[in-house]
Amino acid sequence: MTTLDKELIYVGDPMCSWCYGFAPTKRKLEEQCAGRAVTSLVVGGLHTDWTEPQDAERKKFLDEHWHEIGERSGQPFKFDILERDDFVYNTEASCRAAVTAREIKGNATALNFFTHVQSAFYAENQDVTEDEVLIDLAEGFGLDRGEFATLFSSDEMKQQTQMDFQFAQRLGVSGFPTVVVNDKNGYAYLTVGYQPYENLEPIIEAWLSNQLERDQTAAE
Q: Is residue 83 part of a domain?
A: yes
Euclidean distance between CA atoms 183 and 204, whole angstroms: 13
- Mean of the per-residue pLDDT values for the chain? 94
Share of the chain above pLDDT 90, in %: 89
Residue 214 maps to a domain: no
pTM reported for the whole predicted model = 0.94
118 is a domain residue: yes
Residue 50: its pLDDT value, please? 84
Residue 2 lies in a domain: no
56 within a domain of the structure (yes/no): yes
What's the angle, vertex CA 158, arms to CA 24 and CA 48, rounded to 5? Answer: 60
Domain count, the chain: 1
Rounded average pLDDT over 170-192: 93
The percent of residues above 70 in pLDDT, for the chain, comes to: 95
Domain span including residue 183: 8-208
Question: Which amino acid would we find at residue 151?
Answer: L
- Is 218 inside a domain boundary? no
Backbone angles phi, psi at 43, to 5 degrees: -90, 135
Please report whether residue 217 resides in a domain: no
pLDDT at 220: 43
What's the pLDDT tens digit per position in 27-73?
Answer: 999 999 999 999 999 999 999 888 899 899 999 999 999 999 999 99
Q: Would residue 70 count as lying in a domain?
A: yes
Q: Which residues of 103-125 are buried (b: 16+ CB within 10 A; e: fewer)?
A: bbbebebbbbbbbbbbbbbbeeb
pLDDT surpassing 60 at residue 84: yes
**CATH code at position 160:** 3.40.30.10
